[in-house]
Amino acid sequence: MGKIRCVGVLTSGGDAPGMNAAIRAVTRSAICNGFKVKGIYRGYDGLINGEVKRFTTEDVSNIIQTGGTILRTARSKEFETAAGRKKAFETLKREAIDALIVIGGNGSLTGARIFAEEYDIPCIGLPGTIDNDLFGTDNTIGYDTTLNTITQCVDKIRDTATSHERIFFVEVMGRDAGFLAQNSAIAAGAEAAIIPEDSTGSDQLIKFMERGIRKSKKSCIVIVSESPKCGAIYYANRVNKEYPNFDVRVSILGHLQRGGSPTARDRILASRVGVGAIEALVQGQRNVMVGIRNNEVVYVPIVDAVGKRKPIDKQLIKVLDELSI
């Protein structure tokens, strides 16, 4: 690739609060550094279909406080094919886009890595996912807002759990990562969190029942990471069968976790990594994800960001165990 004159930006995969703040930061930082900016609508599908618009600073005015993404988003099956990626590259050539900034999670950044390798296009990833599961950054865009949303919901559910002396299993997102479940459990004062990282062979339900509810409590909240096999409904059904004396309910928070105005933390994170993406291009970097680690901007190879498993701090499990007695 030659000199970068025009930068394309897209959002892909599940939406996350703070994506608009990232789009704003990318756009304004790019213009400040002398680049043209083009917004690509509907993720990789929009790149394939040529849904591209020249962006100015006015296009990103008054969006930092809004949830969702003004660029819209999609999960593109066509981009997973070589033919689809070829169409996408033809769009980049036609629009004279020299570098691509992708805001999204694991699947989106994996697509960027493959695309960059096939067509020698500089790609910069921004960690936009509520699951907080990308390696190399302390937090991802949208995680803090979602954590606060879950905590507010659980606070309301607890009123009913206490009034009716019930066990509530509350299912949250984060299928392969327990960051949302574990930290929202601590923040909301829940009695337990059932997360994939704590599946050490012991039965998490029995461990919880023996330690807590059967001894002293008549109502409680258990936060469960979503799972097609072992979600909140699975555990509620087990309690109904194995501990029939308890009144059990399930609340699946679902997509309300994704929406809402981003918190200050998410706005600041998105702004910092958005500026960092343009700085990476100015420095000649490519195929990296921009993150924040120990309050410093870092550049992580995309192959590591999507290929390495982000560990959960096991101390958090101990904290919840001790505080839920």
CA 125 to chain centre: 13
Q: Which residues contact 122 (CB under 8 A, 6 or more apart)?
A: 1, 4, 98, 99, 100, 116, 281, 285, 286, 287
Rg of the Cα trace of the chain? Answer: 22
Asked if 131 is an active-site residue, the reply is: yes
- ∠ Cα 11 15 17 (to 5°): 105
Q: b/e for 310-321, b at 16 or more Cβ within 10 A? A: bebeeebbeebb
Q: 133 and 176 in contact (C-beta within 8 Å)?
A: yes
Helix (H, G, I), strand (E, B) or coil at 296: strand
Query: CB 324: neighbour CB atoms within 10 A?
Result: 20
DSSP character string of 194-225: E-GGG-SSS-HHHHHIIIIITTT-S-EEEEEE
| Cα separation, 236 vs 205, whole angstroms | 10
Which of 15, 45, 98, 131 is an active site residue?
Answer: 131
Q: Which residues are catalytic?
A: 131
